[in-house]
Amino acid sequence: MRNIIPILTVVGLLILVWYGAAVALNAQWARDVAARADRTLTFSELVADTWSQEKPKLPAPHQVGAELWETTVMKKVTSKRSLVYHTWVTFSATFLGFVMGTALGTLLAVGIVFNRTMDMSVMPWVIASQTIPILAIAPMIIVVLNAVGLSGLLPKAIISMYLSFFPVVVGMVKGLRSPDQMQLDQMRTWHASGWQTFWKLRLPSSMPYFFTSLKVGVAASLVGAIVGEMPTGAVAGLGARLLAGSYYGQTVQIWSALIMAAALAAVMVGLIGLVQRITLKRMGMA
């Protein structure tokens, strides 16, 4: 809690910079309009104008706030114009991909830890797989999966899965290997089988690593879902809102979708943090 004042200061500074930047970026447009009407703007008029344009280069925070209020609280959640609806679409793809990625990542990690052949041959490729910018081929994956008859949620979830399995593999391998030699020897003196060592020692001691990689994974998963929504023709979801906004120059819409995505990321990471704290406390590790 001692960090709360510094954090608020930094956030406050960021908002100030945002307002300032809005004036600087939108001033040209405001001046052009005024020049056409043969007027010159005083400074306060200029500021007022730059903070309330219809299609500003950079909308001021309160404009984005108003748009957010308009599209979340004032609209019915089932409406296609409601941001809650689009957020839900993105969230469901994110969540499905995240669950699949976590499962795949955990399985791979267990395999890597228990099988030397897998460790030597698969691990380097897991790392290499992430240097391929999967987001770049997202459009292709969507199109190809559509051609085989898969559409809707699953193609997006697959992209999310590809992005989120990697942090889980790396974190879990590290976690499952975190018990030291002394503890492993202890298990051996108890004549524990490999299975028992896994359940009673390796898995519990990997939990802190597990949750840390889940947080990274869920953030990556959200990015995957958003980018996966772009090439599908901008039907629904936060990514679609971004694309539609950029086509029609609706900057306020883009920014509100961005803020919504940020909020979604924050909520998901926060929830995992909460589960982490409760679990680790019950296990006596925190």
Partner 1 sequence: MMGWVLFAIVAWLVGLSVNIWLARQKPSRWATLASPIVFGLTLIAVWEGVVRGFDINQVLLPAPSVIAARFATSLDILWIDFVQTVIKGALSGYIIGCGAAFLTALAIDRFPFLQRGLLPVGNFVAALPIIGMAPIMVMWFGFGWQSKAAIVVVMVFFPMLVNTVQGLQASDAMQRDLMRTYAAGYWRTLLKLRLPAAMPFVFNGLKIGTTLALIGAIVAEFFGSPVLGMGFRISTSVGQLALDLVWAEIVVAAIAGSAFYGIMALIEGRVTFWHPSQRT
Q: Is 1 in the site for partner 1 (CB under 8 A)?
A: no
Which among 44-52, 74-82, 97-105, 227-235 is the span making contact with partner 1, rule CB under 8 A?
227-235
- Binding residue for partner 1 (CB under 8 A) from 47, 201, 240, 257? 257
Q: Candidates 151-159, 181-189, 196-204, 239-247: pick the segment binding partner 1 (CB under 8 A).
A: 239-247
Contact string 127-166 vs partner 1 (x = CB under 8 A) = -x-xxxx-xxx-xx--xx--xx------------------
| Comparison of 88 and 192: residue with beta carbon closer to partner 1 | 88
Q: Which stretch binds partner 1 (CB under 8 A): 36-44, 171-179, 201-209, 249-257?
A: 249-257
Tell me the one-letter amino acid at 17. Answer: V
Helix (H) or strand (E) holding 216: helix 203-229
Q: Is 57 in the site for partner 1 (CB under 8 A)?
A: yes
Spell out the alpha helix ranges (H) of 51-202.
61-72, 83-114, 116-131, 138-147, 153-176, 181-189, 194-197
Alpha carbon separation from 162 to 46, 52, 155, 165, 274 (Å, rounded): 48, 41, 11, 6, 25
Tally the C-alpha atoms within 13 A of residue 38's C-alpha that lie toward its C-beta.
Answer: 0
Question: What CA–CA distance (Å, rounded) separates 20 from 13?
Answer: 10
Tokens of 72: 């979340």
Concatenating the DSSP letter of every residue in 221-247 gives HHHHHHHHHTTTTS-SSHHHHHHHHHH
Interacting residues with partner 1 (CB under 8 A): 2-3, 5-11, 14, 25, 57, 116-117, 119-125, 128, 130-133, 135-137, 139-140, 143-144, 147-148, 215-216, 219, 222-223, 226-227, 230-231, 238-239, 242-243, 245-246, 249, 251, 254-255, 257-258, 261-262, 265-266, 269
